[in-house]
Amino acid sequence: MQMDLSKFSPASDEEKQQITQMRESTTFFKDGMRKLRKDPLAMISIAVLLLIVLTIFIAPVIVPYDYQEMIAVDGVRDRTAKNLPPFTYSENEQAAIKSGEKIFPHIFGTDQLSRDYFIRVVYGTRVSLTVGVFASIIVLIIGLIYGSVSGYFGGKVDLILMRIVDIIYALPDLLMIILLSVVLDSTLSRALEGTALANIGTNMLSIFIVFGLLYWVSMARLVRGQILSIKENEYILAAKALGAKSGRIIRKHILPNCISVIIISTALQIPAAIFTESFLSFVGLGVQAPMPSLGSLASAAREGLQSYPYKLLFPALTICLIVLSFNLLGDGLRDAFDPKLRR
Amino acid sequence: MWKYVLKRVALAIFTIFIIIAITFFVMNAIPGGPFQTEKAPDPAVQKMLMQRYNLDKPLWEQFFIYLGNIFHGDFGISLKNGREISTIIGESFRISAEIGGIAIVVALIPGLIFGSLAALMRNRWEDRLIMFSSTVFVAVPSFVLATILLLIFSLKLKLIPVWTVDNPNYLLPIIALALYPMSYITRLTKSSMLDALGQDYVRTARAKGVSETRIIFKHALRNALIPVITYLGPMTAYIITGSLVVETVFTIGGLGTKFVSSINNRDYPLIMATTIFLAVLLVFLTLLSDLVYKLVDPKINFE
């Protein structure tokens, strides 16, 4: 083969200036994040979520009420403070204000046990968000490890692991959670008394256990599928042909394609977990009273529904807002990191 | 193909067996047993009760006795009122099945229609409206929706009467159950419809001069339906669990309310029986939808 070596000489300065730069070269993540920043819905969702998180951290500091504290005026429990509409004071409190005391307003009113409703909604949001995020993290870790082992090794290992996944996938999750909650409640509640876990109750534990046992399968399948399909791609072959080591291939090619799918799946798993938790609380299998949860608040609001509709609206709107934001964020992430949607 | 069908059926049966096993052993892990009352009965009476209910036998034997009973349709007796559980389930499931069945239809058909409409009117106001509402509705949990509907239409506006046994009105519960799946199906249909319309065979058909209607109904829709069929399984699961809540909110005497109250009453035989019943139903319907999907999708080759 005859090669004209003069064609391979370094470019001169004037030749370099002839290159028109269409786009700056950028990494996959930077490109994805840039696209995400341009998506208005996703940005609004992030803002809303940050606002909610900020509120639940700041509110307990500002609002002087505790979630289980029944309103007391001058140390005596205030019986007229039941079921107050938002921003009103009870008679005893009004009398106290006239005599010079400063009382923090009840932003959402009070509930039937004279507890400040705003702080209860805030704590309920805390519980829901914590459960949602932690359950999703558990799902992420287990699913990621399981799926990558299965996808990377392939062959018999893959076959056996996926059969197990098939069986677990077929189990009805909610029924198992209910079952486990009922059982754990009877068996563990005595064992947990006095520990920190007693506050959240056995039901939360059973949610986490079942999430750890059942919900990771879709993540595992996703990761495995990604790894399998990426392994077949030609650029992997090309990279190997160019002499790239396995470590570099995994780092630069396999992992970035997996991560976007993983992030999106997790972002959509969180609202699903929050749904499940609020559903269980609604049915009575959620956090132990008096710790509120958005679901149990909504359930308790059913009693006085005609007279105090706002008691339902606040927790319900909060759930919808959180779930909607996560959904829009997940959608935005999916659109931003989709390599087929080049502009 | 039949080899595949057999494999799936075998898997389903195995899953059901595992479900029954898990339910049984988990329930029996509860300390105290079913005869735990405040007053401990006479030891001789207790011994007789244990013998009668086979509780003195080892757990494995009890399990197989229970399994055998189930095959004869005998789920035991409710702890609360002593009635035969199979009768309880039979009565209440009729109502739940009606509501659930209608809800599935209500979710499917409008969902498909709206989704296709959104795909066809892409980026026009119909599309935006449909996608906006479906995105919002997907974020509303069924119990929130059910309570809000009850509040607005039954209590405040007094338009729709509250459900009683003699005067059953299913409109609101069905809406509450069907709205989430309908929105999900709308979004699913739209994206798969757009996918199908972008395919090369559609371009060919258009180039050949085939009318747009024919393209939609004969080619695109059929392929767009396939992802929706895979959703049928999870949708049934959603409707079953959703019925627990919706029935409680609207005070409908269906299987859902029975289940919820059995949980609150710690009526263990009933909890077990309902769990198994619902789980079996779910596995069966999922199996059905999986088989239909494999039948319909021409691209799938059978393992």
Q: How high does pLDDT run on average in chain A?
A: 78
Q: Which residues of A touch B146 (CB under 8 A)?
A: none
pLDDT at A39: 81
- pLDDT of B119 reads 82
Most confident of A177-191, A193-207, A216-230: A216-230
Q: Tell me what pLDDT residue A75 has.
A: 60
Q: What is the pLDDT of residue B38?
A: 43
CA distance to partner chain A, nearest, from residue B209 (Å): 30
Q: For residue B253, what is the DSSP state?
A: -
- Look at B138 and A327 and tell me if their CB atoms are within 8 Å: yes
**CB A143, CB A186: distance < 8 Å:** no
- Whether B18 and A167 have beta carbons less than 8 Å apart is answered as yes
B142 residue type, one letter: S
Q: Does the beta-carbon distance from A167 to B26 stay under 8 Å?
A: no
Tell me whether residues A178 and B26 touch, CB distance under 8 A. no
Q: How many helices (H) and strands (E) does chain A have?
A: 14, 2
Peptide bond connecting B161 to the previous residue in cis, omega within 30 degrees of 0: no
Is the pLDDT confidence value at A335 over 70? yes
Q: What CA–CA distance (Å, rounded) separates A81 from A90?
A: 5
Confidence of residue A86 (pLDDT cuts 50, 70, 90): confident
First and final C-alpha spacing in chain A? 40
B16 to chain A, minimum CA–CA distance in Å? 8
- What pLDDT shows up at residue A78? 66
Which residue is listed with tokens 């940005």?
Answer: A43
pTM over 0.90: no
- Region A87-93: mean pLDDT is 72
**Dihedral sign of CA atoms A128, A131, A134, A138 in order:** negative
Is A319 within 8 Å of B141 when comparing Cβ atoms? yes
pLDDT (tens digit, 9 = 90+) per residue, A147-176? Answer: 877 877 777 888 888 888 887 877 777 777
Chain segment A4-48, per-residue pLDDT in tens: 887 788 877 877 777 776 767 777 777 778 888 888 888 888 899
Say if the Cβ atoms of A187 and B31 lie within 8 Å.
yes
CA pair distance A86, A88, nearest whole angstrom: 6
Q: Which residues in chain B land under pLDDT 70? A: 1, 30-42, 45-46, 48-57, 79-80, 158-168, 297-303
Q: How far is A154 from chain B (nearest CA, A)?
A: 17
DSSP B129-162: HHHHHHHHHHTS-HHHHHHHHIIIIIIIS--SPP
Which of B143, B265, B271, B284 to mutate against chain A (most A CBs within 10 Å)?
B143
For the cut 70, the answer to whether the pLDDT of residue A302 exceeds it is: yes
Grade residue A340 by pLDDT with cuts at 50, 70 and 90: low
Digit-coded pLDDT (tens) for A250-275: 667 777 777 777 888 888 888 888 88
Q: How far apart are CA A319 and CA A271, in angstroms?
A: 9
| pLDDT category of residue A343 using cuts at 50, 70 and 90 | very low
Indicate the CATH number of B85-296 among 1.10.10.10, 3.40.640.10, 1.10.3720.10, 3.40.50.10890. 1.10.3720.10
Determine the 3-state secondary structure of A72 from DSSP: strand
pLDDT at position B52:
63
- Answer with the residue of higher pLDDT: A63 or A43: A43
Q: Can you tell me which residue has the tokens 């392939």? A: A154
Q: What is the ipTM of this complex?
A: 0.74
Cβ <8 Å between A187 and B241: no
